[in-house]
Amino acid sequence: MAVSQISVFVESRPGHLKRILDLLEQCSVNVRGYSCSDTGDYGITRFVVDRPDMAMKALKEAGVAVTESQILCLKLEDDPGELARVFGVIAKLNMNVKYSYSLISTYIAVGVDDVATAEEALNNQPVEFVSQQDLQA
């Protein structure tokens, strides 16, 4: 039940990210979570949105450097130790969490090298998966 993540090439200069967000707004795409970090001259901003197909189309048409990939999206209980428990499952697989960020509420996005294996391992655990449909709600 992986979801789509949209990654965009952004330059470190005022207004660049805003332009990307304006493009999403123009096609009424709702951003449900994102991750931006300080990496120097340029960076990769990752988005989880309600309608990834629409977002990809709009960004590509505008000539933006953009790529789509699959990540896991999980809904955690809002309790101490929950994040440790979930990442513990992935650690046991001897797999790296490449990056992770939280979405709306206690939703978190998790990027790993092998989405299917991690998904299977997490399926046996008390944690709720979030689907693309859930994100549209």
Partner 1 sequence: MSESHSTIMYQPEIETLSRDEIRALQLKKLKKQVAWTYSRVDWYRQKMDEMGVSPDDIKTLEDVRKLPFTDKSVLRDTYPFGLFGVPLDEVVRLHASSGTTGKPIVVGYNNHDLDVWRDCIARLAQMAGVVPSDRVQMAFGYGMFTGGFGLHYGCEHLGCMVIPASSGNTQRQLMMINDYQSTVLVATPSYAMHICEYGEKHGFDWSKSSLRIGLFGGEPCPPALKQEIESRMHIICTDNYGLTEVMGPGVSGECLASRDMQHIAEDHFLWEIVDPKTGEPLPEGVPGELVLTPLDKQAFPVLRYRTHDLTMVTTEPCECGRTHARMKKVRTRTDDMLIIRGTNVFPSQVEDILAQIDGVSPHYRIEVDNETGLDRMVIMVELLPEAFSDSFNEMDAFRKKIAQKLKQTMLVASEVKLIEPGGIERSFGKTKHVIDKRK
Under 8 Å between Cβ of 76 and 83: yes
- Looking at 3, 10, 23, 130, which residue binds partner 1 (CB under 8 A)? 10
- Determine if 16 is a binding residue for partner 1 (CB under 8 A): yes
Q: Does residue 106 bind partner 1 (CB under 8 A)?
A: no
- Residue from 24, 29, 33, 46 that binds partner 1 (CB under 8 A)? 46
30 counts as binding partner 1 under rule CB under 8 A: no
What radius of gyration do the chain's Cα atoms show?
15
Q: Which is nearer to partner 1, 67 or 102 (CB)?
A: 67
Q: Residue 16 corresponds to which amino acid?
A: H
Q: What are phi and psi of 95, to 5 degrees?
A: -120, 140
Q: Among 26, 30, 67, 96, indicate the residue that binds partner 1 (CB under 8 A).
A: 67
Residue-by-residue DSSP string for 95-113: --EEEEEE-STTEEEEEES
Pick from 89, 56, 92, 60: which is nearest to 72 by CA?
89
Binding site for partner 1 (CB under 8 A): 5, 7, 9-11, 16, 39, 41-44, 46, 60-61, 63-67, 69
